[in-house]
Structure 1
Amino acid sequence: MDHGIDDKEALLLDRVSAAFEPYLLPPQEVSSVRRSLRSYIAARVDTAQNPRQGLEGLRAEYVKAVQANRAAKSRYAAILARHHEHAATSDPADSATAGHSSRSLLGQHVELLRLERQHTTLITLEDELDALRRSSRFTTSDTLSRAGTTPSALPDTERELAQLVDLLTRSVKALERALVEAHHYAIHERSLLEDAKAQSQYRTSATLPQRLHALSAARRELTAWLEESLERCQGNTDEAGQDEHLKSKLSSSDLEQNIDHQYEQYLETRQRLLMIVSSLKAPLPEQAPETPGGRVERMVQNFTKTEWPEEAEVPNVLEQALLPTVQQERASRAHLTFAKEQQEDELLATVNMLDRLSDESQILQAFPLLARSGRFEHAASTFGKKRATVDEPEDEVSRRMKPWLFAAEAAEVATSSTIEELLKQGNRSMDNVGQSLSELRFLHEADGNEHFKQ
């Protein structure tokens, strides 16, 4: 096989050399030209003997059309052969029907040509349907334009229509799934906002006297525990020599038991402290504020109700009645000072935390201009009712929390507007799908009527 190919190449080269010899270059370049011609002819021979196996694009469509044409021609030849055989074996009396048979044969030929055209249009529609399956941006206008250009190209089978209905059904299901996901996402975001509002209301519901009472109770308990621990340490320093003497006598097991006992005492003390703090954190019953005059009257009544012995002196009575009050007042002042310091520390920590979180917040980043400007109260009427102004001055935490609250409301409104836009888009898509289905049904009925007339 290779030897035959070489002979053909040699013959072709000789013929080309003889034809183009007057136009060749000087003799020193003849060899290079011959090599170029040899490589070109060899490439053409390889291309002719080894065609590509895969046909893609328009060439594949052309091959399909040619195959369909050949199949139609073979069917036409078979029908024509059967007709000739039937005409040869028929009686002479049937010659009168020859004209009618020729006319029927001509009609079959016309029908064959129509079927060939329909086959070509069906191939085109199949390619368009494949493109529609791969594309998610199929619109009604494209369908109308394609259907309007070739009204007779609609298929006479239900396969293409079923594919279109399947595509539309999947699109509708995808839209419904997107709507359900958006609804669940909106519910989740709304629940998170409600939780945040509830937590903020719970934190702000505690009054200053309740916090002061809880802090003072915890301070007293911690002070008592520290004093007890210091007394134990001082007592242990006085008896250091005795402890060393006892430790030398005690074994390791006794030391472990002693350590376990002290650790259990520590755990009991800590548990008792936590229980007291939790009980003291409970809200106190609200009582009417007592005026200084009422307090003096109550002290006088208690003093008059108390039965004093006749030999008691007036200074002792005054000391017993006033000294506890003075001591209580001093303790209250100390607690108030400590509470103010603690409140300032908590306020500073809260402000720092809000500043740090404002840089990491996605809500404030989504609404930076309105939330961080001082004019967001004027824009609040767009998203809801404006809160009533309060004459009392606001603290730093409340002032810094206002942008957060407004940004949360704006985010909720933006989310609801996005959901409404998605719902409208889904409704429009449903309307377009219904219109497309009705147009496809109308075109299918028109095609059926046309086939029935033919």
Structure 2
Amino acid sequence: MPSPEETVKLVQQSMAVYVKPREQAEHVRRVIAYHLQSTVEGSRPGGPLCLIDASANISEPYQGIRGATQEFFKASAANSKALEEFETVRKAHTQLNQPAGPVIKPNRYEILDDKLHLINQQEKSARLGTLERHIDILSEKPATNPDFLSLKPIFKDLRPLVKVPREIVDSLAMDENADRRDLASLVEKLDKVLLKSKLLLTREEQYLQTLKSQISLDPRSVTPSAKARALDTTRNELINWIESELSKASTNADDSDAGHDSDSSHGPSTSGEKPGEEDEVAKKTRQTIMTKLGTVKESYQLYVAARKSLVAALKEPVSMSARPVAEPPVRQPQESPATTEGSSGTASYLLLPYLSKLSELTAAQKAVIAYKSHFNVALAKQLKEACQIIDHLVPESQLLPQFPWPASERAKHLNPGSLDHLTAAVSDQPDLSSQIKPWVFASDSARIATMETVAESIEDGQVGIESINKTLTEIASLFGEVNGDSASISQGDPWADLALDLGLLGPKPRP
């Protein structure tokens, strides 16, 4: 079978006789048209002369035709012959190029399936190539080495840790089985604490306002001497309490030292450890404690003396004369308790009942606050559950869509200046009353509608009963069954002796 290039060359050689340049073909057409126009005596031809049917048989000689027309017919016959030869060559070439076996046309669905399968295979190949590329990248990193995660090379240059007893480690270890608090529970607990603090703050503010309204004494009207006496009494009580606590602390320290000495004296006989080192450490510790305790006592005595001098200066009247500046008092550890003994007895006798009463009131107030907070938490929980139940019942209710809450009442309730809105804003809790009001309104509306329906039914029944009574009365009158109140039988009526059932004469009615 010849190649396409050879076929093209063969066709060009066979058609070279009939193929002419465009200018030459145009010139030939113009010449032929001119001759034809001169032959037909000035009339234009009906159509283009070049469009001749190839099937027309013009190969026969034409007699009686001369001139340009004869030449045209000759050219047309040559053209038809050339077209027939071209068609014969084309058919032969087509038969040569056709395959020997039958041509099987592929199914378009099979082609589509093959295309989809090819696309899936390409995508799978791309994914596998991506995975392989990333695996190669990871394999090049040092973390893939099994020794990379070993801790021995990391801690080889460090000093070993101090050995800690097993009990301490166990006490500091975190319990893995401990309950992990959920974030929601923490948020709920935080909300409860915040609510409790808000409630306490509100109550404290109210209590403060109440106390301010009850207190009639103006602090500005108190004289400086009264303030000084009150301050002196309070400070003396505070001094006595601190001194008593210090004396208790020193007594406990002495007892512990004595016990330690006795333990150390009996220690060598009961234990096999080194008693000398323990005695030295105990002595050093005791000396350090006693030194610090003495320093604290001296500083406190200096503070007490300076405070007493300040109080005495406040009690004395102020004068414009120059007064010498008092030097800081010298340490007098034995005089400070004696100087305050006389005034502290009277002050403690006066303030002790009030202090005990205040402690009792404080404990009672704490208990009341704890109970109130517990009750508030329980009520808030119940309120929340009730609001959730109401929210779940709203879509299932058939009463609310039938009797909706009026828009005027809703706008009045949602008004920022209304009492319900202010209460809900202050309390920071779900407003149960606002959720109950539509239900109350719907139930009242349903009750009123039911009562109206029942009243209408009763009225209809009464009307029916009256009509039935009237009908029965008419029937009774027709049958002659009349009551004494309705009519009286006349004695002279001749029809009264007749029986109404069979028309026979009946007994006369008794007078």
Q: TM-score, normalised by structure 1?
A: 0.24
Query: Could you say which structure has the larger radius of gyration?
Result: 2
Structure scoring higher RCO (CA < 8 A, sep ≥ 6) equals: 1
Q: TM-score, normalised by structure 2?
A: 0.22
